[in-house]
Amino acid sequence: MTTPLIILTGPTAVGKTDLSIQLAKAVDAEIVSADSMQIYKYMDIGSAKVTEEEMQGVKHYLVDEIEPDMPFSVSEYKRMAEEYIDEISSRGKNVIVTGGTGLYLNSLIYDMDFGKSDANQELREELNKELEENGPAYMYEKLVSLDKEAAERIHPNNTKRVIRAIEVAMSGEKMNDFSKDLRYNKKYRPIIIVLNRDRQALYDRINLRVDIMLKNGLIEEVKGLLEKGYTKDMISMQGIGYKEIIKYFDGEYTLDEAIEIIKRDSRRYAKRQLTWFRRYEDAKWFEIDKFDSAEELKDAVVSYVKEML
């Protein structure tokens, strides 16, 4: 029997957090996060992490679970998320997956085979040696020359993925971008809801959110992370809001420049997210501006979910 999986997504700052909690209370659900930044400990302000107070007693998973220096992959996310989903379902509760990290969502919606290419240990050791001798930039350029499409999806500092992609490319295959020819994951019956707003209204909310982050202590949070020994080369510290403040500390940006770049890159990220979510053919979109109140939106979403369960 397939487990119904309520997926509530949408671009950054659209208003997922509050609605997901209201929905969870209405349909007796617990929440599994699909946010690649909220999973990290100590990264609260820059990730707009849901607070204990905001949770209103609704249990959340995959929030505040991973140390910022721990390597964390999509396959690891899938493994942990599925364990939590099984555990929640076994208690007779519904599951809401909420967040805007598209690859995390795809890992649950679709049947993704992360181990398709067999590991070539000898080749991997050679590539790791090359990395030690020549550095991350050299290895990234090597990947660009072998598989430009894969390089566009991988951050140059994510050396583990860069090496894996080179290994796959050298075996004559391409890394799957998980966006084409996908089959649904037979374990789940996804009920996908995408929240959206008028573009300008969304951008205004993003800009305001960044201002609030600064007011709430984003600069102090980044300083504290650096003092704990977390470095700018870590994947966690490459998140929007973190890398720009680090560059401000390093003298690459003025504070005003850093703030404007955070706002700009957050808006661009929201645009990319919306493009990603439009691939979900079975998704139900809710245009928030068309509702007179948050209560009316909540009622419409709850009604739709109950109908689909």
What's the rounded mean pLDDT across residues 4-24? 98
Both structure tokens of 231: 């470095």
**CA distance to 158, 190, 232, per residue, from 71 (Å):** 9, 28, 14
Q: Cβ distance 198 to 251 under 8 Å?
A: no
pLDDT, position 141:
82
Whether the per-residue pLDDT at 73 is higher than 90: the answer is no
Tokens 């739709």 locate to 304
b (16+ CB within 10 A) / e for 26-38: bbebbbbbbbbbb
**pLDDT at site 117:** 46
Q: Are the C-beta atoms of residues 223 and 38 closer than 8 Å to each other?
A: no
Examine the pLDDT at 77 and tell me if it is beyond 90. Answer: yes
- How far is Cα 161 from Cα 102, in angstroms, rounded to an integer? 17
Per-residue model confidence as pLDDT tens digits over 206-265: 999 999 999 999 999 999 999 999 999 888 998 999 999 999 999 999 999 999 999 999
- pLDDT for the residue 172: 57
What pLDDT sits at residue 170?
73
pLDDT tens, position by position, 138-187: 888 888 877 888 888 888 888 888 988 888 777 655 555 545 557 889 99
- pLDDT, tens digit (0-9, with 9 covering 90-100), for 80-115: 999 999 999 999 999 999 999 998 999 999 987 665
CA distance 244 to 61: 28
Residue 165 CA from chain centroid, whole number: 20
Q: What is the pTM of this model?
A: 0.82
What's the pLDDT score for residue 48? 97
Q: What is the pLDDT of residues 291-302, one digit of tens each?
A: 999 999 999 999
> 3-class SS at 185?
coil
Each residue of 26-71: pLDDT tens digit? 999 999 999 999 999 999 999 999 999 999 999 999 999 999 999 7
pLDDT value of position 131: 84
- 15-29 pLDDT, tens digit per residue, is 999 999 999 999 999
Give the integer Cα–Cα distance in Å for 173 and 169: 5
Place of tokens 């940006």: 253
